[in-house]
Amino acid sequence: MWHVITDGPIKILKEITVVITTESTPKMVEKHRSEWTTEDKKKANLDNVSKDIIYKTLDKNKFVKIKTCSTTKEIWEKLTQLCEGNDQTKENKLIVAIQKFDNAKMKPGETLTEFDEQFSAIMIELNSLGKDYSNCEIALKVMRVLPGE
Residue 149 binned pLDDT confidence (cut-offs 50, 70, 90): low
The pTM of this model reads 0.55
So what's the pLDDT on residue 80? 86
Instruction: State whether residue 12 is helix, strand or coil.
Output: coil
Element (H, E) at 114: helix 112-128
Burial 6-45 (b: 16+ CB within 10 A, else e): eeebeebeeeeeeeeeeeeeeeeeeeeeeeeeeebeeebe
Task: Reply yes or no on whether the pLDDT at 21 is more than 60.
Answer: no
89-139 per-position pLDDT tens digit? 888 889 999 999 999 988 888 888 999 999 999 999 999 888 999 999 999
> Any idea where the domains of the chain sit in the sequence?
2-84, 87-145
